[in-house]
């Protein structure tokens, strides 16, 4: 072949230089001696090949809490950031209502910034830029010593809404903070959040052409976050792609926590940056590059070969990147020597000046592979899903994804039906392939069922979901498909530390108290993934006066309610690890499970309220099974409660869908919807259904129960 790969070999990648903190004289050893594995897997059908990049599962240094980071927050402080940040609630009629906590969008962003700050240490640095009519550097990159963390917290608190949205200046100032700060051994990242569309001093030639002409190479990855529905999401995705980062859609306040938590956890588990994959294929072989289209892919041709270069951005420990190429089988025959040889070349950095290079090659006729049939089907299906999603956002000449706010459901549904019938994942029952089918039959189908749904949230959601699947990253706890990524212990540890910080840091002072529709604010309520439950060991009062552990309940059991004896219809069981429960009397319950204590004023309230107001209740860390109960249907909400540990606890399907009653919930209170959702989990003969948490719709609203995953990777966050 004329297109020869480079033959020189670099040393094994190593971050052997300690990161020194100039203010403290301390250092952090981040030495890495493990190499990435690059392999090519021609498929037995000869219709394609999968190129796999597999980083090490965890850092060599077992004492490393997280990979050190240089993070610059670029935050929109335009006038619209002072608007209330509602939590969305879906009604039984399919509509959406809003629950206000008196918090502005900027209040929530500040809380997310403080969450990031709380998990950084002296090995990390943080910079802050705000932008409105112009961008202002609030804080240069500073090592997060105790003293500097206090300064950073003060700087975050001082942010105030202003006027216009000069996104370009914000990007400039954020990137400029890395001048002279490259190759420090830390993961460099600019995190840009905006709630609207740029309306001041936008580059005339377009953002992407301007960025290409301004920076030959970017010193940091760019990550974009769009809050709400009035965003230019096509532009945000293009900026992230050019910057080797990711784009995420945040529909409402309930998703800010999980999106930021996962984004920072990805940074803190980074193995390598500036990753590029070059694939060289003989010209005689007809192939289709099936990775989702990106503005930073390049195609070149020589006289006897073709090359495609894909910018992969960052690689995370433990998470493979799998590129599928579809090949015309007939073009493999007849074949001369080496005329069916595919070469792959991976280059990457480990946050230092050195660039590392890993080559691989494989004859496409040699179809032996270690990949199983379900695994092959999964990656083929993932490619088909990404191609389908990307068909809704064509790339414009200025390299911005076109914002399409109108669709014809009658045309889209048949196309979706064809995909559902053709996708290989439908033939397999493993959790990976099932997760893709859930994405397609769930939120994707819902978004395409209505022009209103698509124009409001579907388009923004498609861009974000496509990014998650093409980059193989878990971007929230919401969607079944992306939950299959980043399931290793190192990522889970970093994610859970951020999650705990978001839930426990004192909530911000509301900027919009007059808009509040609920009183007490607990940030965990804006960052939950499972339905309210109680521990299985708690004693429940039966109709005959006996008290037995909750876990012994089954279909046909009779329990005592405030209105007398009622029959158990279903039992919802969820496994948790290290969960924070509230202990009140003999009850161990999730913080937001409505309860009522006899003899106390106020009626129904939340356990967390008692925890804050009294010294007797306690918070406990719990690992094991927690339960929710569905009783027989009754029109009276009072017939949907059971006595557990001497405390009345609400059960599912109580009928209160909206209003200020603590029990109100448009899904958990809807008997019919809950019954159907439990039935979809296939309860056993005793009526016990195993759940993996809640499912959310495109607005981030609880709309069902997720199927249970593997115990060792199911990490739950409680309501």
Q: Give dist(CA 212, CA 215) in Å, integer.
A: 6
Chain-centroid distance, C-alpha 273? 20
Instruction: Name the β-bridge partners of 642.
Output: 649
User: Are the C-beta atoms of 467 and 244 separated by less than 8 Å?
Assistant: no
Write phi, then psi, for 452 (nearest 5 degrees). Answer: -65, -45
pLDDT score of 6: 36
User: Are the C-beta atoms of 422 and 384 separated by less than 8 Å?
Assistant: yes
CB neighbours of 169 closer than 8 A, spacing ≥ 6? 131, 134, 135, 201
Domain ranges within the chain, ordered by starting residue: 19-64+274-379, 528-707
Neighbouring CB atoms inside 10 A of 601's CB total 6
pLDDT score of 572: 93
Q: Give dist(CA 546, CA 14) in Å, integer.
A: 64
Q: Coil, strand or helix: which one is 603?
A: coil
CATH of 528-707, one of 3.40.630.40, 2.170.16.10, 3.40.50.2300, 3.40.50.800: 2.170.16.10
- How do residues 333-373 score in pLDDT, each as one tens digit? 665 655 788 899 999 998 888 889 999 999 888 877 889 99
- The pair of three-digit structure tokens given for residue 188, joined into one six-digit string: 């460099």
pLDDT score of 489: 92
- Chunked mean pLDDT (size 10), the chain, 719 residues: 37 37 41 80 88 94 91 90 63 42 79 87 94 93 95 92 88 94 89 84 89 90 91 93 92 79 94 94 74 71 82 95 83 64 92 88 84 95 93 89 77 89 94 91 87 88 94 87 92 88 73 51 51 79 88 91 92 78 81 78 72 53 82 90 91 87 85 87 88 70 70 33
Q: Where are the alpha helices (DSSP H) in 159-229?
A: 167-176, 207-214
User: Are the C-beta atoms of 237 and 247 separated by less than 8 Å?
Assistant: yes
Is 19-64+274-379 CATH 2.60.40? Answer: yes
CB neighbours of 171 closer than 8 A, spacing ≥ 6? 74, 190, 192, 207, 211, 222, 239
pLDDT score of 10: 39
Alpha-carbon separation of residue 315 from 41, 347, 453 (angstroms)? 20, 11, 34
Write phi, then psi, for 199 (nearest 5 degrees). Answer: -135, 20
Q: How high does pLDDT run on average in the chain?
A: 81
pLDDT score of 642: 94
Cα three-residue angle 172-173-178, rounded to 5 degrees: 100
Chain-centroid distance, C-alpha 462? 14
pLDDT score of 230: 84
Q: Beta strand 341-349 with 539-541: parallel, antiparallel or unpaired?
A: unpaired
pLDDT score of 515: 44
Q: Give dist(CA 71, CA 313) in Å, integer.
A: 16
Dihedral sign, Cα of residue 140, residue 142, residue 147, residue 153: positive
Of the candidates 104, 158, 103, 110, which has an alpha carbon nearest to the alpha carbon of residue 136?
158
Dihedral sign, Cα of residue 565, residue 566, residue 568, residue 573: negative
- How do residues 181-211 score in pLDDT, each as one tens digit? 878 889 999 999 988 778 778 888 899 999 9
User: Is omega for the bond preceding 124 within 30 degrees of 0, making it cis?
Assistant: no
């Amino acid at each position: 072949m004329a297109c020869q790969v480079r033959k020189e070999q670099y040393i094994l990648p190593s971050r052997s230089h300690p990161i020194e903190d100039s203010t403290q004289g301390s250092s952090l050893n981040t030495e890495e001696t493990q190499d990435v594995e690059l392999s090519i897997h021609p498929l037995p059908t000869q219709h394609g090949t999968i190129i796999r990049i597999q980083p090490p599962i965890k850092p060599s240094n077992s004492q490393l809490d997280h990979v050190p980071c240089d993070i610059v927050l670029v935050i929109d402080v335009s006038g619209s950031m002072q608007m209330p940040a509602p939590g969305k609630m879906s009604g039984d009629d399919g509509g959406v209502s809003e629950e206000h906590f008196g918090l502005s969008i900027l209040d929530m962003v500040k809380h997310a910034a403080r969450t990031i700050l709380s998990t950084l240490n002296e090995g990390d640095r943080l910079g802050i830029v705000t932008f409105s009519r112009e961008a202002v550097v609030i804080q240069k990159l500073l090592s997060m010593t105790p003293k500097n963390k206090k300064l950073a917290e003060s700087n975050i608190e001082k942010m105030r809404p202003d006027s216009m949205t000069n996104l370009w200046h914000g990007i400039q100032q954020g990137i400029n903070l890395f001048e002279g700060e490259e190759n420090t051994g830390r993961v460099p990242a600019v995190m840009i959040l905006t709630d609207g569309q740029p309306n001041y001093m936008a580059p005339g030639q377009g953002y992407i052409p301007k960025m290409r002409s301004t920076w030959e190479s970017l010193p940091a990855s760019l990550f974009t976050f769009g809050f709400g529905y009035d965003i230019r999401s096509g532009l945000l995705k293009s900026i992230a792609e050019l910057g080797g980062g990711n784009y995420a859609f945040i529909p409402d306040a309930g998703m800010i926590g999980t999106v930021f938590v996962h984004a920072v956890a990805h940074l803190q588990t980074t193995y390598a940056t500036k990753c590029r994959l070059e694939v060289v294929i003989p010209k005689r072989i007809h192939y289709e590059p099936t990775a989702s289209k990106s503005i930073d892919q390049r195609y070149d041709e020589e006289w006897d070969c073709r090359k495609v270069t894909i910018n992969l951005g960052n690689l995370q420990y433990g998470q493979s990147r799998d590129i599928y190429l579809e090949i015309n089988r007939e073009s493999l025959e007849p074949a001369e020597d080496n005329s069916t040889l595919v070469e792959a070349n991976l280059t990457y950095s480990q946050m230092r000046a050195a660039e590392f290079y890993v080559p691989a090659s494989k004859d496409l006729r040699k179809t032996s592979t270690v990949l199983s049939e379900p695994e092959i089907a999964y990656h083929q299906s993932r490619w088909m899903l990404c191609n389908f999603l990307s068909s809704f956002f064509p790339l414009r000449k200025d390299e911005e994804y076109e914002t399409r706010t109108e669709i014809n459901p009658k045309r889209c549904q048949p196309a979706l039906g064809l995909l559902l019938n053709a996708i290989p994942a439908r033939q397999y029952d493993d959790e990976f392939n099932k997760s893709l089918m859930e994405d397609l039959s769930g939120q994707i189908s819902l978004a395409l069922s209505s022009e209103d749904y698509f124009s409001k949230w579907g388009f923004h959601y498609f861009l974000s979901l496509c990014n998650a699947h093409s980059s193989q990253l878990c971007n929230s706890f919401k969607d079944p498909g992306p939950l299959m990524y980043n399931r290793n212990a190192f990522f889970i540890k970093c994610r859970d530390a951020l999650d705990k910080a978001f839930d426990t840091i004192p909530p911000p002072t509301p900027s919009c108290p007059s808009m509040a529709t609920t009183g007490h604010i607990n940030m965990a309520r804006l960052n939950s993934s499972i339905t309210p439950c109680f521990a299985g060991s708690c004693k429940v009062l039966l109709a005959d006066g006996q008290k037995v552990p909750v876990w012994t309940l089954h279909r046909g059991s009779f329990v005592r309610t405030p209105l007398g004896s009622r029959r158990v219809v279903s039992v919802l069981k969820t496994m948790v690890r290290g969960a924070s429960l509230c202990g009140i009397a003999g009850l161990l319950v999730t913080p937001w499970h409505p309860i009522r204590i006899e003899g106390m004023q106020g009626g129904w309230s939340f356990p967390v309220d008692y925890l804050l107001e009294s010294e007797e209740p306690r918070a406990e860390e719990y690992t094991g099974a927690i339960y929710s109960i569905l009783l027989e249907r009754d029109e009276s909400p009072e017939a949907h409660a059971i006595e557990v540990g001497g405390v009345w606890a609400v059960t599912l399907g109580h009928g209160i869908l909206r209003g200020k009653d603590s029990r109100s919930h448009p899904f958990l209170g809807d008997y019919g919807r809950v019954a159907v959702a439990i039935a979809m989990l296939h309860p056993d003969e005793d009526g016990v259904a195993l759940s993996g948490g809640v499912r959310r719709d495109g607005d981030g609203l609880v709309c069902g129960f997720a199927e249970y995953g593997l115990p060792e990777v199911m990490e739950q966050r409680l309501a």
